Amino acid sequence: MTKRLGLLKKYGKYSIAGAIFFLLVITLLIFHFGPRIFYRYFGHLLLDKVETRLSEKQIRQIQEGVSGLKAKVVFSSSRTGNHEIFMLTLPEIQTYQLTHHPHVNYFPRFSPDGEKIIFARSQITWVSERDEDPWDVYLLSLQTGKETLLARDANYPQWVDTGRISFSRKNKVIIKDLGTGHEKIILDGMESPISGSVGTPEFSPKDPRFLVLTTRGKLDGVIFWDLLKRQYFLFGGGCEITWFPQGNEVLWVENGGNGGTQMPRSSATHDNKTLFMDLPGEFSHEYFPRLSRDGKWLVWGASSGGHEHDLADYEIFLWKVGTPFSRAVRLTYSPANERWPDIFIMPKQ
């Protein structure tokens, strides 16, 4: 009996220490992954309809900042309590709600002539941006308001040219001919050397043999891909890579900078990275970069620290390339989530 009590005293303290360690690990896992799990399945519970109206002072600041620029900016916003596509016109500062659908609508992209947009819509009422599969791609005419389903199980749509679009599906990069409806798999991310997921694929505006995309897997980061030579160049960590209009440079988002992220630029074929944008001030957590087709304007979203792409208070900013960072113009003033903008510069009459 005495021996048994001794063993209990000897090993009991290890059991208590083990239990404390186990509880500590569980607590850390809940703290780290708990919010992400909640966002993924119940994020819509955090969205509310909010009053969004620009003041006269804010309108004047925008008009002064864009210096007469005639353009249209589309973006996804949760200001109605649901993610819809909105369009802001410059310099009039008129805002239009383009979609009216209970599912999530995001990732709008202007057609080359600016008369249509393509965008992604979730297949059920709520899908987190972290879940890249249950989406469909739609075409919206800005003239008639008519929507057309273009592709099932598709995400991250981009225009390749006036008659073709690209998107990702089940970690494959696909080009679709809108005239014939024919789809062609260009790259399978599940095969070597990526062996993982692919996101935000975009073909060069000058040569569709060249592709940039974000990968998560055996290769992790932002990648330039030469489809003809079957060669790739890995830039390193980051995401949301996009082209300059000349087709020989790219920019993307990576960790660092004033608010935890920044946007570097580099040649598409070798690393000569330089800083392109790091917004000073409160809103410096940058994401969703998009250059105008002439390369003269950058539009993007930035938060004051929140990260979750479809829930945090991101605001839309516009910057004339080459001017001081401090001259960037804030286009939205809303507690809602504003993300994935695109810009179309109106042709001069």
pLDDT at 189: 94
Q: What is the mean pLDDT of residues 31-60?
A: 79
| Contact criterion met (CB below 8 Å) for 261 and 253 | yes
Sorted by where each begins, the domain ranges of the chain are 1-46, 50-345
pLDDT digits (tens, 9 = 90+) for 65-95: 998 899 999 999 999 999 999 999 999 999 9
Judging by beta carbons within 10 Å of its beta carbon (0-12, 13-18, 19+), is residue 18 exposed, middle or buried? exposed
* Whether this model's pTM surpasses 0.95: no
High-pLDDT (> 90) share of the chain, %: 78
Whether 344 shows a pLDDT value over 80: the answer reads yes
Q: What is the mean pLDDT of residues 221-242?
A: 91
Read off the pLDDT of each residue in 183-197 and give the average, rounded to a whole number. 94
Q: Please tell me which residue, 124 or 17, carries the higher pLDDT value.
A: 124
**What CATH number has the domain spanning 50-345?**
2.120.10.30
Nearby residues of 270 by Cβ (< 8 Å), 6 or more positions away: 233
pLDDT of the residue at 99:
98
Residue 18 reports pLDDT greater than 90: no
Q: Residue 79 is encoded by which pair of tokens? A: 């200001």
What pLDDT, on a 0 to 100 scale, did the predictor assign at position 235?
84
CB 248 within 8 A of CB 268: yes
